[in-house]
Amino acid sequence: MVTQIHLGDIAVDVVLKDIKNIHLSVHPPAGKVRIAAPLRMDLDTIRVFAITKLAWIKNQQKKLREQERETPREYLDRESHYVWGKRYLLKLIEMEATPSVELKHSTMLLQLRPEASIEKKQEVLDAWYREQLKAAVPALVAKWEKALGVKANKIFVQKMKTKWGSCNPIAGNIRLNTDLAKKPPACVEYIVAHELAHLLERHHSERFIRLMDAHMPQWRHFRDVLNSLPLAHQEWGY
């Protein structure tokens, strides 16, 4: 169940969950604010917490308003799509055959059966992006496991709504957003290194920053490049 509190003109969705700590997030593209809080925490305490974070919330919303966004995907000929940071122009091929995606020069060939819906086109392309990332990840994981002296238990590649990646240090699992296959390779490597570093330090603490500085001195640049790229058009839920 979602409860809403207001900080002036800012609405904050509050969800009480079986968790230990309070979590604040601001979601693209519109800057929707959400707080996940422990079940026993009262709304007055949550409101005080939100007020202390008001400047940060406004700053995050400002960044989202100013960030470039993709136009809604229509999957039409000559629509721009990105793979590893490179722009391709879409070309649809209607054929009674298994759907497929192929890159040829600067063209992305999307083969589908006649009358395929937009939802089907998106489904095929999303599955293809997932396979591209799954193929690229093992070498990056092996490189950064060795560099950091860690070992991930499992690596999951999946569509994620609000993050490029996540790490569960207890289970040793790493999750990576399928959409990383659209981004420059250096940005993908940064996310892999970032999440693996969380196996050593779960929080974004001074120790975590020292780890990243020691092993990937340019990580801030890669982070900024990734955050400057166009956001997906759709509203990110939770």
Q: Render pLDDT for 47-75 as a digit per residue (tens, 0 to 9).
A: 999 999 999 999 888 877 766 666 678 89
Phi, psi of 127 (to 5 degrees): -65, -40
Residue at which a domain ends, from 66, 90, 110: 66
The answer on pLDDT for 105 being more than 90 is yes
Note whether 102 and 62 are same-domain residues. Answer: no
Is 18 inside any structural domain?
yes
Q: Average model confidence (pLDDT) for the chain?
A: 89
DSSP class of 53: T
Question: What is residue 226's predicted lDDT score, i.e. its pLDDT?
Answer: 84
**How many independent structural domains does the chain possess?**
2
- Cβ(53)–Cβ(73) below 8 Å: no
Find how far residue 70's CA is from the centre of its chain: 15
**Structural domain of residue 23, as residue ranges?**
2-66
Question: What are the structure tokens assigned to 54, written together?
Answer: 């008001």
- Per residue in 117-146, pLDDT tens? 999 999 999 999 999 999 999 999 999 999
Best CA proximity match to 99, nearest among 135, 137, 131, 72 = 131
Is 235 inside any structural domain?
no
Half-sphere exposure of residue 123: CA atoms within 13 angstroms, side-chain side: 7
pTM across the whole model: 0.73
Question: What are the structure tokens assigned to 108, written together?
Answer: 């992305």
- Per residue in 143-153, pLDDT tens? 999 999 999 99
Question: What is residue 90's predicted lDDT score, i.e. its pLDDT?
Answer: 97
- Cβ(114)–Cβ(94) below 8 Å: yes
Is 71 inside any structural domain?
no
Question: What is residue 146's predicted lDDT score, i.e. its pLDDT?
Answer: 97
Is 74 inside any structural domain?
no
78-91 as b/e: b if 16+ CB within 10 A: ebebbbbeeebebb
Question: What is residue 162's predicted lDDT score, i.e. its pLDDT?
Answer: 67
What is the CATH classification number for the domain harbouring 146?
Answer: 3.30.2010.10
Question: What is residue 234's predicted lDDT score, i.e. its pLDDT?
Answer: 44
Best CA proximity match to 222, nearest among 160, 137, 164 = 164
Say how many C-beta atoms besides its own lie within 10 A of residue 218's C-beta. Answer: 12
CA distance linking residue 196 with residue 198, whole number of Å: 5
